[in-house]
Amino acid sequence: MSDPGGELYLDLRPSLEPHLAALLTRHKEAAAKADWSCHQFLPLDAFRAHPRRHRPLSRAAYTAVEMALLTEVNLPWYTAGLSHGLRGCPAPIQEFVRVWTSEEDQHATLLEAYLLLSGNGDPAARARARKAVITAGWTHQLGSPFEGMVYTAIQEAVTRTFYLCTARACEPEDPGLAEALRRIAKDETLHMAFYRDVVKVHLDLDTGYVQPLAAVMSRFQMPWSASFAGDFAERQAYVGAHGGFTVADYYRDVVQFLWSYWGIDRLAPRGEDARRALVQLRKYRSVLCKFAGRGDGLDARPESEGTAGTKPPSRGTAAP
């Protein structure tokens, strides 16, 4: 992607390495203050005292938690994709991928252990599903490091919101599980902040970066495993219909949140292609706003304008 002057908006700018290093340091300091371990959020004492005390979760609550688990387990593929796609990027970006992996590693373990200890779901079926997801692997269609940063910012914002919605739904049934979900959401918030600010510093440097941003945002989808694509569509529709993550949540807490933070309404790119991309992005947001206002389920998204990011969140961060 380039403007008439030939400026490229695919790669991250090496000149921004000091700023990227500062973002990495900020993240490490925040993560160190919020350090945690899985056992802190597991009902170990209650389980030892009353192994059969936990009531099963409702179908909607369990479906949401299992959806998150089945995408969290694909971490090896997400890490591989990020490492490959970012290998030529400034050193702070490459280091962040390793830091991110170490922090994401606990999420699937915590969710699986909690479901096992609380006796929720069919553990054998869940184990088969996990193996199927990892066996199927995961690929992406993003074409550049900057697109990857936009994608991961959106994806982490979706994941954070999904966990908070699920925590709210689980609170009346299992306050301990709700606390664990909110703890994972804090990780996702820190990760989102890093990617979000990498995007912002590039937009501040050159508004032409809105062109690849528009391409990613208007076609965003969560990184599902292909082995569960159809099944996940049914699950997301069910969860959304029972008070879980919806198009309205995606519009308000993801698209509008990032739109405002990135100052998209104030962008005035010089290149003709970038200006056209910005016009199309505004049309996409307008259509998404109408769907969100109607209260449609998760599958009700404006296909003609691109796919909204309303698929179940995952640990998965797509590679650029």
- pTM value is 0.78
Instruction: Tell me the pLDDT tens digit for each residue of 137-180.
Output: 887 777 889 999 999 999 999 999 999 999 999 999 999 999 99
Q: Where are the alpha helices (DSSP H) in the chain?
A: 17-33, 44-49, 59-72, 75-85, 91-117, 123-136, 145-170, 175-205, 210-217, 229-241, 247-250, 256-261, 272-294
pLDDT tens, position by position, for the chain (320 residues)? 444 333 456 688 888 888 988 998 999 899 888 777 767 777 767 666 665 566 789 999 999 999 999 989 999 999 998 888 888 899 999 999 999 999 999 999 999 999 988 889 998 888 888 888 888 888 777 788 999 999 999 999 999 999 999 999 999 999 999 999 999 999 999 999 999 999 999 999 999 999 999 999 999 988 865 556 567 777 777 888 777 888 899 999 999 999 999 999 999 999 999 999 999 999 999 999 998 886 544 433 333 333 333 333 333 333 33
- Contacts of residue 138, Cβ cutoff 8 Å, sequence gap at least 6: 74, 77, 78, 81, 223, 224, 225, 226, 316
| 3-class SS of residue 77 | helix
Nearest to 23 by CA among 182, 199, 242, 164: 199
Instruction: Tell me the pLDDT tens digit for each residue of 87-133.
Output: 889 999 999 999 999 999 999 999 999 998 888 999 888 888 888 88
- CA 70 to CA 82: how far, in whole Å? 19
Evaluate whether 114 touches 46 at the Cβ level (below 8 Å): no
Residues facing 2 on adjacent strands: 8
